[in-house]
């Protein structure tokens, strides 16, 4: 017969076991983070393939993979001015190996355009890691049209009320808002045709579905160099290095169109600070690397190294600005 005393557990043993259990639950995440990244990463692009965000994201993925010693797999999910991709990202199970490239549109414009339909909170649902690069917008028309300046475009539109159409990457994109502002300043009756990203919007221009487009430079530059489209003005404060002969919007007589678009990297909500800072460090190593800088300049992008806090401050500045533009233009997706 077994001695009853053998079934007794000393209170001290219970305390030690509980302590070890707590310790293991604490140390496992820490160890996981210290070994990060431990497997391939995923990078979501909330736009269709071929646009500026996609061009930047794919170049970034290759170099991040080299720096972090893990492959980075790119996924595209376009629509609703990046909103469909963002909603998919924030509602996916938490994964500290899952990231997304955004433009400031998803952070600073969509909240005012989509309002109740937004579906995500850019502050609560996303962890800023850092800005990546910036580029101006450029107003372009097909080479077949007799238009060589913004003033020519205004005259062309006024002589054809309701027949001047422009494409954009979606409702609330900078191209959409700038052209609505342009419309309100000039009184030209123009038609907005939104697409599911920069690439499809560019194809609409090339196929003749629309007469002009205002968009980021990276996906437009090849078409400019090929002689298929004419740039009328860039929206930067000074002439852009790849288009030195093209005037700024201010030089062309439309200072209200001055803006640059920046892109950033984010993680899901509650991304551990250690992972955030490791990813930020990797990102900044690339953004200060001469080879990567030159690679982005080829597609008309300037690197913007910095901290997560820098990205937060830049987002606030953009929100203040675009809220006013949206109020003036009356643009909405509701």
CATH number of the domain at 41-135+261-329, please?
Answer: 3.40.190.150
- CA end-to-end distance (rounded Å), the chain: 79
The three-state secondary structure class of 139 is strand
Element spanning 302, H or E: strand 302-303
Residue 319 and residue 251: Cα distance in Å, rounded?
Answer: 26
Q: What is the DSSP string of 68-132?
A: HTS-EEEEE---GGGHHHHHHHHHSPP-TTEEEEEEHIIIIIHHHHTGGG--S-TTTSEEEEEEE
Query: Rounded mean pLDDT of the chain?
Result: 89
Q: Which of 226, 179, 220, 185 is nearest to 202 (CA)?
A: 220
What pLDDT is attached to residue 6?
41
What pLDDT is attached to residue 103?
94
Strand partners, 214: 139
Q: Delimit the CATH 3.40.190.150 region(s) of the chain.
A: 41-135+261-329
Was domain 136-257 assigned CATH 3.40.190.10? yes
Strand partners, 142: 229
What interhelical angle do 52-68 and 290-297 show, nearest 10? 160
Residue 36 and residue 88: Cα distance in Å, rounded?
Answer: 23
Whole-angstrom Cα Rg for the chain: 24
302: alpha, beta or left? (left if phi > 0; alpha if psi -120 to 50): beta
What pLDDT is attached to residue 33?
57
Q: Delimit the CATH 3.40.190.10 region(s) of the chain.
A: 136-257
- Give 5-16 pLDDT, tens digit per residue: 444 445 545 444
CB 73 within 8 A of CB 62: no
Q: Which of 67, 73, 10, 69 is nearest to 45 (CA)?
A: 73
What pLDDT is attached to residue 334?
63
The three-state secondary structure class of 295 is helix
- Give 153-197 pLDDT, tens digit per residue: 999 999 999 999 999 988 888 899 999 989 988 999 999 999 888
Give Cα 21 distance to the centre of its chain.
43
- Give 77-135 pLDDT, tens digit per residue: 988 889 999 999 999 999 999 999 999 999 999 999 988 889 999 999 999 999 999 99
CB 218 within 8 A of CB 300: yes
Residue 198 and residue 137: Cα distance in Å, rounded?
Answer: 12
What pLDDT is attached to residue 151?
96
47: alpha, beta or left? (left if phi > 0; alpha if psi -120 to 50): beta
Question: What's phi and psi for 214, nearest 5 deg?
Answer: -125, 115
């Amino acid at each position: 017969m077994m001695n009853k005393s053998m079934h007794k557990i000393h209170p001290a043993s219970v305390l030690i076991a509980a302590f070890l259990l707590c310790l293991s639950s604490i140390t496992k995440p820490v160890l996981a983070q210290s070994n990060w990244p431990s497997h391939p990463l995923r990078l979501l692009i909330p736009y269709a393939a071929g646009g500026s965000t996609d061009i930047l994201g794919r170049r970034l993925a290759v170099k991040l993979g080299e720096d972090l010693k893990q492959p980075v797999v790119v996924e595209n999910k376009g629509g609703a001015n990046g909103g469909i991709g963002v909603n998919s990202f924030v509602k996916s199970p938490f994964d500290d190996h899952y990231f997304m490239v955004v433009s400031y549109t998803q952070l600073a414009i969509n909240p005012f355009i989509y309002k109740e339909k937004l579906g995500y909170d850019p502050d609560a649902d996303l962890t800023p890691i850092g800005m990546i690069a910036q580029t101006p917008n450029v107003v372009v028309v097909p080479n077949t049209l007799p238009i060589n300046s913004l003033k020519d475009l205004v005259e062309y539109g006024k002589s054809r009320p309701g027949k001047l159409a422009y494409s954009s990457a979606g409702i609330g994109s900078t191209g959409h808002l700038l052209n609505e502002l342009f419309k309100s300043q000039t009184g030209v009756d123009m038609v907005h045709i939104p697409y599911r990203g920069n690439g499809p919007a560019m194809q609409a221009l090339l196929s003749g579905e629309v007469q002009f487009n205002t968009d980021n430079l990276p996906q437009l530059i090849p078409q400019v160099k090929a002689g298929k489209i004419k740039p009328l003005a860039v929206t930067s404060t000074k002439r852009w290095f790849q288009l030195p002969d093209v005037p700024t919007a201010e030089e062309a007589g439309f200072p209200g169109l001055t803006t640059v678009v920046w892109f950033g990297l984010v993680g899901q909500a509650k991304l551990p600070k250690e992972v955030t800072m490791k990813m930020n460090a990797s990102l900044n190593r690339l953004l200060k690397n001469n080879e990567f800088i030159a690679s982005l300049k080829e597609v008309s992008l300037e690197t913007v190294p910095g901290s997560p806090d820098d990205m937060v401050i830049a987002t606030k500045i953009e929100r203040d600005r675009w809220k006013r533009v949206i109020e003036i233009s009356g643009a909405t997706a509701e």
